[in-house]
Amino acid sequence: MVLVDGGGHAEKGGAAEESAVDYRGNPADGSRTGGWLAAGLILGTELSERICVMGISMNLVTYLVGDLHLPSSKSANVVTNFLGTLNLLGLLGGFVADAKLGRYLTVAISASIAAIGVTLLTLATSIPSMKPPRCDDSRTMKSHCIEASGGQLALLFIALNTIALGGGGIKSNVSGFGSDQFDLSNPKERKAMIYFFNRFYFCISLGSLFAVTVMVYVQDNVGRGWGYGMSAGTMAVAVAVLVAGMRRYRFKKPQGSPLSVVWRVLFLAWKRRNLEYPSHPSLLHEFHNAKVQHTPRLRCLDKAAVVEEEQIARCGGEGWRNNPWVVSRVSEVEEVKMVLKLLPIWSTCILFWTVYSQMNTFTIEQATFMNRNIGAFQIPAASFSVFLFLTILLVTSLNERVTVPVARRFTRSPQGITSLQRVGVGLLLSVLGMVAAGAVEKHRRESAVNNNVKIRAFWLIPQFFIVGAGEAFAYVGQLEFFIREAPEGMKSMSTGLFLSTLSMGFFVSSVLVVVVGKATKGGWLKSNLNVARLDYFYWMLAVLGVVNFSVFVVFATKHRYKAQLQGEELIIKTCDQDNDEKGSP
């Protein structure tokens, strides 16, 4: 039985996108495969991944500080490094899917690896010898607390890295595999596709909401082992559901390693940098047969597709045409152009996730220094993240039902609001979120130091609300941008590129914590936030956010969407044809 790698093309009457096949490798039947049912089964895997990852990351810092007695800054870096590694490994997952296994097999294998990782984490937090002796309060009696040893941390780190490996493979492929279930040549499915990314994020936000309420409560009040054991069971069920729906999916055949194409084009363009441009782009290799139309931007890369007579003579016969190291096709050059044009936007998306990472670390630590009681019940510190995900769900729903329909009336575009406009709104809200976070922390610290009063933890709601609203815009906008603007054969890799912005954001947060700690000699970031100046750290992020947003606006206004460039090329070709018919030079 052929799963993904079978070839074949759909017939015109089959109602499925060309090159889409079923699980047997036959042309996909649009009436029996794809659509929202198939996409929903696929999204169940991402839902489970989000329950596991968010249930771990949002509450891990309290475990590291409270049970393993690690310093607050070191604990924050463990969390951000875990999330950074997970998202960075999305590039590896995307590469494997595009080059060899296909999205389905990559997701299935990655989900199985993640289930193993959560099982190891369950053991790491359940075995008594994996934790140091207990102490009364690791913040006020630090001298009486023994920090966890390297041996005690070893199994924990092995588990986290295993989860990161599996989670990266899921995240980089599940959205692309889900979008494969919609045929853009079918008007009905094209309309459904417009809502796919919004509903995709709404769905995984539900998983996050469940994680920071039910899973966090079980971890804090029943036991870490029980909480992580439930996560492992959830991933196992997700794998079973994914496999059970195999007959419903549409598959795309892997088109080879996209990184090899990028490397070859860049190498040939550099090697031929001293060549003259041809008199007309139509003289480039495979210009008239190109699957991706030629565009005039980044002309320096066109030299990779210049046909050199000396090399043709050296190769002999027609063999040079099929040797990618002799000359690149126009389609390959254009695909590399598409990837390179994503990088300026990519660079300005990183800081948003640096800001967002504070919601997983220092904001949770803030909650532990605040009044979290409702009557006799004390809310777990990590559960205050519920306001973050409630905001994401609310804003995502409003975007689909209000923002997009209203924007359509003004723009007359099916999208309503473009992907880069979404990202811009998210970046701006992240700046406001850090301003609010700094103000709240200043008020909390002054109340604790001057009046010995713990203010209510509900003061954290504004920063959760603003950053959550920003994420609802930024995540959907970035995901849509990187998938739509990337070449068709690099969809999983482009998702991995998007995830690398999250990764870099978390790693930048870790670097900033280290740099700020050394620059201030530990004055801003201490385990005891009452003697630290966390508010200064938040405001520093706000200033960096303003600078980053300004750079983003410059890049965004210069970016030309793929559809725009193709339309311009079509106009150019039409003009050239008219000139040829009229005998113009």
Per-residue pLDDT for 24 more than 80? no
Domain match, 315 and 431 both = no
Q: If you average pLDDT over residues 164-171, what whole number do you get?
A: 87
* pLDDT exceeds 80 at position 30: no
pLDDT in the model for residue 140: 45
pLDDT number for residue 180 = 80
Domain tally, the chain: 3
Which of 222-226, 249-253, 366-370, 577-581 bottoms out in mean pLDDT, i.e. has the lowest?
Answer: 577-581
Write down how long the chain is: 585
CA distance to 129, 143, 220, 247, 581, per residue, from 67 (Å): 12, 15, 11, 46, 80
Give yes or no: residues 301 and 346 share one domain: no
Ranking 156-160, 349-353, 379-383, 517-521 by mean pLDDT, the lowest is: 379-383
pLDDT of 65: 80
The pLDDT tens digits for 518-556 are 888 877 877 778 888 888 999 999 999 999 999 999 998
Let me know: does 229 contact 120? Beta carbons within 8 Å. no
Q: pLDDT category, 424, cuts 50, 70, 90?
A: very high
Q: Is residue 578 part of a domain?
A: no
Q: Is residue 10 a part of any domain in this protein?
A: no
Is 428 in the same domain as 466?
yes
What percentage of the chain has pLDDT greater than the value 70?
83
Which among 424, 425, 415, 402 is positioned nearest to 484, based on CA atoms? 415
More confident residue, 120 or 381: 120
Q: Which residues contact 34 (CB under 8 A, 6 or more apart)?
A: 16, 20, 28, 180, 181, 182, 183, 189, 248, 249, 250
Average pLDDT over residues 305-322: 61
> Residues 216-226: pLDDT tens digits?
888 888 888 88
User: How many Å apart are CA 220 and CA 217, to the nearest integer?
Assistant: 5
pLDDT at residue 232 in the model: 87
Region class of 317: left (phi > 0), else alpha (psi between -120 and 50), else beta: left
pLDDT at 419 over 80: yes
DSSP string, 384-408: GGHHHHHHHHHHHHHIIIIIHHHHH
User: Which pLDDT value is given to residue 322?
Assistant: 62
Q: Residue 349 to residues 345, 382, 402, 443, 534: CA-CA distances in angstroms?
A: 6, 26, 25, 30, 23
User: And the tokens for 278?
Assistant: 């041809």
> Residue 248 in 3-state DSSP?
helix
pLDDT band at 334 (very low <50, low <70, confident <90, very high): confident
Q: In terms of residue numbers, what domain contains 290? A: 258-328
- Domain with residue 512: its CATH number is 1.20.1250.20
pLDDT of residue 350: 92
Give the model's confidence band at 256: pLDDT under 50 very low, under 70 low, under 90 confident, else very high.
low
Would you state the pLDDT for residue 568? 47
- Check whether residue 264 and residue 375 sit in a common domain: no
User: Do 440 and 553 lie in a common domain?
Assistant: yes
346 and 361 share one domain: yes
Tokens of 255: 């088109």
Count of CA atoms in the C-beta half-sphere (13 A) of 55: 34
List C-alpha distances in Å: 105 to 25, 202, 231, 365, 459: 14, 25, 22, 39, 45
Mean pLDDT of the chain: 79
As a whole number, mean pLDDT of residues 260-265 equals: 82
The verdict on 386 and 412 lying in the same domain is yes
Considering the domain boundaries, does residue 315 fall inside one?
yes
- Predicted confidence (pLDDT) per residue in 557-579, tens digit: 888 776 655 544 444 444 444 44
Do residue 82 and residue 230 come from a single domain?
Answer: yes
**Quick one: pLDDT at residue 415?**
64
**Res 12: pLDDT:** 37
Q: Are residues 356 and 314 in the same domain?
A: no
